[in-house]
Structure 1
Amino acid sequence: METLKNFGAFVLLIFFMVHNTSVNCQVLAPTYANVSYGDDPAQIVDYYIAPNNSLTSVTHVVILIHGGAWGGGSKSDMSPFVPFILSAFPGYLVANMEYRLGTWSSPGYPKQTEDIGAVISFIKSKLPGQKLTFALFGGSAGAHLSLLYGYRYDAINRDVSVVIDVVGPADFTDPAYAWNLVYNWIFFAFIGPNFYFLNPGIYNETSPLTWATPNSPKTIGFYGDKDPLVPNSQHKILGDKLNNLGVVNEVTVYSGGHFDWSPTDVQDMKDKIVVFLAKYF
């Protein structure tokens, strides 16, 4: 077990080296920083509104959810995405959240999806009487959480109308995931030390596509064709499932790995997100 942990630590180091690729845009100071939405110190969120905009006029909220293999990362990883959203949609409220990180002994499931629900409930409580709709915008593990919350936990309330998925795992029962012990190890921060061959049920239960229905949120996804952390099969599985269900979706695959894409492709991604939000959000 110690050998496995040491090897996993190496894999996680590589993950953070790849994951922290710059988005190449300015970072804005939050309008309201480190607002508590729960009792745990990790449950804080930054809010951004455009100058001359008022919270009382907000109807659209984009929640940013960082990656980090369910056990690391921070909201600062997503802050570079704020300027292009507010420049295109100055009437939006952008919420950049922290969530409780997972460990083998205190896994992220289900507390991390509970934290997303807590942020949504907190925002609704602070803006009573306003008809709000939400988009979840996640990167890597944060994209998985966005998909899982949108497809599973929001099925009744239907607060989430759009999910933006950047290199997010969608189906952990995919053989390319399930039978890769390194991928299993990375997932332990979310589900605890459960290998697929010993506990396939937990992999099925935490796969967003298990819960997808024709009423699932409209989804736009972006993947790299040489991603060392998300199998190349995932984007096709996601698109095929959503197409079969009749869920509006777009999936784009770029040349490269886990978001280490060219500046041209990153700009293309941002442009596609703006068009998708303008059309469906």
Structure 2
Amino acid sequence: MGSVCRASPSCPRPASSPPSPSSTTCASCPSTSGAPGERRPAGADRRAPSGRRAAAGTESAAAARRPVRRGRGGRPLELDLWLPEAGRGPAPLVLFVHGGAWRRGRRDDMGPRTRHWDPGPLARIAAAGFAVACADYRLSGEANFPAPLDDLRAALRWLELRAPELGVDTARTVVWGESAGGHLASLLALDPAVAATGAVVWYAPSDLTVPRGPFDPRSAETPEALLLGAAPAAVPERARAASPVARVHRDAPPFLLVHGERDTMVPGTHSEALAARLREVGAQVELRTVPGADHGWYGASDDAVEEVFARSLRFAQEVVA
């Protein structure tokens, strides 16, 4: 797989480490395009030589920096991009969205059960012929919904604008997320303004309006309340707007929903409800459950986690074919 390192010369990854992504970096001056206050990821590295990671600042990894406007929270948002081997034509895109209860997380983290993989899960997806982007988004301590969704839309717009230069076919985009990131990926795929080809969603909330498992919509202390800025029951319209089950439409792209049968944090009824609603409107959906698995695939065997990933990758390949 062709790959390049992050743009910053202070990147902690040593040159001998496994192939890692390019990184885009943004600065804190006014935006050069888009609406005032819009946050955009910026900059991109060129492909590095096949099979190794180039050092930042070398000929094969020259990074560009573009200005963005900082929003509430002041944190520059970044986007990492893995590119497959050159010469295959424009690559379909996977936009990966990390989890973390909307309040924490690392953009390139596909969950605790994949952290020891070598190569990692995103590198595996790129090796299968995809461009893989993983983008920062504002967390609930920085801004409330719909800010994180706006940030992911901005990431997709930036990729669309740079697609010819990057060799990416954004008309074949699969959004893939886990937990809170799966919730945002679902909303992104269900946005009629986003041309998503498919969605892979692991153990994600789908309804922020009714009690399920430990979630109480009347509480102002839950991760969902922190995302919305108030108890969901106190802001029913905002909670509905943030609920994928309420955003389903008949032109929704194909969905793969995967959930642990023993999930104690986000009950499997979330995926069941979203699958049922998608079927109601005639959309394509595949619901898979993992026996013995809690949230984050805890309790599942290594083989079961590998199979979940393999099926998810096959699904992405099928919908972009």
Question: Which category describes the TM-score, using the shorter chain as reference length?
Answer: 0.7 to 0.9
SS of residue paired to 1:279? helix
Instruction: Tell me which stretches of 4 or more aligned residues in structure 1 moved more than 4 Å.
Output: 128-131, 180-184
Alignment of 1:6-155 (within 5 A): 28-30=19-21, 32-36=22-26, 37=41, 38-40=68-70, 41-53=75-87, 57-78=89-110, 80-87=120-127, 89-90=128-129, 92-103=130-141, 106-128=142-164, 132=170, 133-152=172-191, 155=192
Contact 1:42 1:100 in 2 (8 A): no
Larger Rg: 2
> Bigger relative contact order, structure 1 or 2, given CA contacts below 8 A and separation 6+?
1
The match for 1:167 is 203
Counterparts in 2 of 1:61 and 1:183: CA distance versus 1, 3 Å: farther
**Displacement of 1:60 after TM fit?**
1.0
The CA RMSD over aligned residues, in Å, is 2.4
**How many percent of aligned residue pairs carry the same amino acid?**
20
SS of residue paired to 1:46? strand
SS of residue paired to 1:77? coil
Unaligned runs of 5+ in 2: 1-16, 27-40, 42-67
**Bigger share in helix:** 1
Structure 1 counterpart of 2:224, from 167, 187, 197: 187
Distance, in Å, in 2 between the alignment partners of 1:168 and 1:108 is: 18
- Provide TM-score, normalisation by structure 2: 0.70
Distance, in Å, in 2 between the alignment partners of 1:137 and 1:202 is: 23
Please say which of residues 262-271 and 137-146 is displaced more in the overlay: 262-271
Unaligned runs of 5+ in 1: 1-25
Does 2:307 correspond to 1:268?
Answer: yes
Contact 2:220 2:231 in 1 (8 A): no
- Provide TM-score, normalisation by structure 1: 0.79
Structure 1 counterpart of 2:294, from 234, 257, 263: 257
| Total equivalences in the alignment | 245
